[in-house]
Amino acid sequence: MIYEPAPLLSVKNLTIRFPGSGKRKDNEVLSRLSFDIRDGEIFGIVGESGSGKTITALAIAGLLPDAAKIISGEIIFRGNNLLSLPPKKRRALLGKEIGLIFQEPLSSLNPLMTIGRHLMEYLTSHGNPESPRERLKARKSRILKMLAHVGFHNPDRIYRAFPHQLSGGQRQRALIAGELLLNPSLLIADEPSSSLDSVTQTQILDQLRRVSQSFGISVLFISHDLKLVERMCDRLAVLHNRKIVECDSTYEVLHSPGHPHTAALLRSASLQIRDENAARPAPPVDAVPLLRIDSLNAGYSSSILQTGTEEKEVLKDVSLRILPGEILGLIGTSGCGKTTLARVVTGLLPGTSGQIFENERLVVDFSKRGRLKKTSVGLVFQDPYNSLNPYLTIGRLLEEPLKVNHLFEKKERRDRVLQMMTRVGLPKKYYDYYPSQLSGGQRQRVALAMSLMLSPSLIVADEAVSSLDVTVQSQILKLIWEINQKSGISFLLITHDLKVVRSVCDRVAIMDSGRIIEAGRVGDVFRTPTNPVTRMLIQ
């Protein structure tokens, strides 16, 4: 018999419900969940949004929302059932034995406090120092050392910085440093890299792996991304519909999935959408471009008396051609100017110089203080939760583009809206629904339908699938692909995700610090990147 040490954490039969009131039924969010985390391992939980991943993390930490009720189960940590510990003892474990890293580092930081004060809280909330002044110095040097340990070259600056002065990756790394201060034995990382771009994401995940090894910390890694989980985790549990459907070594789960849902997840994750045989022939590269952007400069400025940002050039000499009927991917790290380009192309932001041609006809010359007027370009935003007015029904939202342009009679407009809903795969009954009654994927369908209402020849989709989980992501990309194939509408697909580009795009342009550094057919660019930055992005 092989001796197996007791696991660090074991969750047994955990069931959590949000009790309903009156007519509303109880909402079960976790159902008889059981899994173990061993000492020093990285254990992954994958699942779609709403499958109960975050609730699991919060339950272990004891930070469940007040409304949640634990119906049954045990959470055994180092031999103690956490659920029967008094709150004070449980709190004492947080930060000291169990650390948490959340998805969005900016919103997990108090905007009014420096990073140093945040990290100080890890030390001060566990036991009071006897001589505060002496200890303050010691504590500070401990924090600075840890900041240096996670790779900051100038820990002093980070210590004094406020959250908004750092980049997303820096914030997340600073928070990891904080978690390590008291050397916990379990680190719960809830989608720790989902809000970061691919380069930063890699850095953060490497960091996590390294600290797990060098400090011997077990990590509970929660993600919706199978690729990341494969890279990170020793063992893996797949969460589906509030239950664990599969739990085994990562290799085993991903290479011989034992549950149909895992197989489906794997299929969506690979994002195989393009069907090269059925695809329309891509337009020749020397075709007359649908939209040609010529040496465009753009930025944000402020008048002397307005406080805030100084004049800032974001786009530098950008030239780009979008061919009729193609899907052009635009990738780059966050803050490189992708969104600014989208805003200029759709006329939301004037450029400072440069020209835009539509079918080789000059539509705007920014050098002559021109402004882009109504164009045939639609726009889909990243966040389907914030881009739809919550007070309008889906029908009203879709009708609006026609209404403000005084197109068609009332009845005709209604017919067109219903047709469009069918086209993007929304059931007709949603006509009278409000955005809050729809899921993220359905909302993004509404946003896409909205941009299609005025029959544009080009749609700019700014990170339109990045906030969706894999299954929904592949559905929306499929829809984009179908619309492109059926009606020949061009898409400018802005993303930080290479998979998305591979899945549907004909050509790809790479942006770095406001410049287009490379552009070409997806296969060519990915196979033989010429620019070092492209190479780094692709790795």
Partner 1 sequence: MNYFLKRTIQLICTLITVSIITFCAFYVIPGDPARVILGPDASDEQMDNLREDLGLNRSFPVRYFRWVSGALTGDLGKSLTFRQPVSELLGQKLPVTLSLAAMALLITMLISFPLGILASGRPGKFLDQLLSVLGNIFFSFPPFVLALLMTLLLGLTLKLFVAGEYISFTESVPGFLASLFFPALAVAVPKIAISQKFLRASILAEKNKEYVRAAKSRGLSDTKAMVLHIIPNSLVPIITVFTIIASEILGGSLVVEMVFNIPGISRLLITAINVRDFPLTQGIVLYLAGMTVIVYFLADILHSLVDPRIRLK
**8 A C-beta contact, residue 459 and residue 489:** yes
Rounded Cα distance, 174 and 180, in Å: 10
User: Interface mask (CB under 8 A) for partner 1, residues 342-371, using x and -?
Assistant: ------------------------------
What is the number of other CB atoms lying within 10 angstroms of the CB of residue 311?
10
Exactly one of 6, 19, 20, 63 binds partner 1 (CB under 8 A); that residue is 63
CA-closest candidate to residue 93, choices 22, 8, 15, 192: 8
Counting DSSP H helices and E strands in the chain, the numbers are 18, 20
One residue of 13, 80, 81, 107 binding partner 1 per CB under 8 A: 107
Which residues, listed in sequence order, are joined to residue 219 by a DSSP beta bridge?
A: 42, 187
Of 102-110, 417-425, 516-524, 531-539, which segment contacts partner 1 by CB under 8 A? 102-110
- Which one of the spans 145-153, 272-280, 299-307, 506-514 is the region binding partner 1 (CB under 8 A)? 299-307
Nearest to 240 by CA among 51, 367, 415, 517: 51
The 158-177 site mask, x for binding partner 1 (CB under 8 A), equals ----x-xx---------x--
Of 15 and 108, nearer to partner 1 (C-beta) is 108
For 273, how many CA atoms within 13 A lie in the half-sphere containing its CB? 28
* Distances, alpha carbon 55 to alpha carbons 14, 49, 480, in Å: 11, 11, 33
Backbone phi, psi, residue 321, to 5°: -115, 135
Backbone angles phi, psi at 149, to 5 degrees: -60, -40
> Of these, 2, 112, 278, 404, which contacts partner 1 (CB under 8 A)?
112
Q: Does 281 bind partner 1 (CB under 8 A)?
A: no
Output the smallest distance, CB 218 to partner 1, in A.
Answer: 16
110 near partner 1 (CB under 8 A): yes
Token output for 314:
């974001």
Contact with partner 1 (CB under 8 A) among 308, 368, 371, 409: 308
Binding test (CB under 8 A) with partner 1, winner from 111, 281, 284, 390: 111
- Chain positions 419 to 478 lying near partner 1, rule: CB under 8 A, are none
CB 224 within 8 A of CB 192: no
Choosing from 1, 2, 278, 305, the residue that interacts with partner 1 (CB under 8 A) is 305
Span near partner 1 by CB under 8 A; candidates 9-17, 74-82, 110-118, 494-502: 110-118
Residue 67 contacts partner 1 per CB under 8 A? no
The residue ranges of DSSP E strands in 155-255, in sequence order, are: 186-190, 218-223, 235-240, 243-249
Task: Rounding to the nearest 10 degrees, give the CA dihedral for residues 237, 241, 242, 246.
Answer: -20
| Measured distance CA(425)–CA(427) in Å, rounded | 7
Interface with partner 1 by CB under 8 A: which range of 42-50, 157-165, 345-353, 403-411?
157-165
35 near partner 1, rule: CB under 8 A? no
User: CA–CA separation, 42 vs 38, rounded Å?
Assistant: 8
Query: How many angstroms separate the CA atoms of 444 and 383, rounded?
Result: 8
Q: Which range touches partner 1 (CB under 8 A), out of 101-109, 204-212, 352-360, 481-489? A: 101-109
Q: How far apart are CA 160 and CA 67, in angstroms?
A: 37
| 122 contributes a contact to partner 1 by CB under 8 A | yes
Place of tokens 């909302």: 443
Residue 430 CB, shortest distance to partner 1, in Å, is: 29
Residues that contact partner 1, how many (by CB under 8 A): 34
Report H helices in 216-259.
226-232, 250-255
Q: How far is the CB of 155 from partner 1 (least distance, A)?
A: 19
By the 8 A CB rule, do 483 and 496 touch?
A: no
Q: Which stretch binds partner 1 (CB under 8 A): 88-96, 241-249, 283-291, 314-322?
A: 88-96
In angstroms, give the least distance from the CB of 118 to partner 1. 8
- Residue 99 in the binding site for partner 1 (CB under 8 A): yes
**CB-wise, 5 or 22, nearer to partner 1?**
22
Q: How far is the CB of 147 from partner 1 (least distance, A)?
A: 16
- Using rule CB under 8 A, residue 61 touches partner 1: yes
Q: Which of 38, 96, 231, 396 binds partner 1 (CB under 8 A)?
A: 96
Question: What is the spatial distance between Cα 410 and Cα 325, in angstroms, rounded to a whole number?
Answer: 31
Residue 373 burial (C-beta neighbours within 10 Å; 0-12, 13-18, 19+): exposed
- Which range in 13-21, 112-120, 235-243, 353-361 contacts partner 1 by CB under 8 A? 112-120
Which residues form the interface with partner 1 (CB under 8 A)?
61, 63, 91-96, 99-100, 102, 104, 107-113, 118, 121-122, 125-126, 162, 164-165, 175, 178, 304-305, 307-309
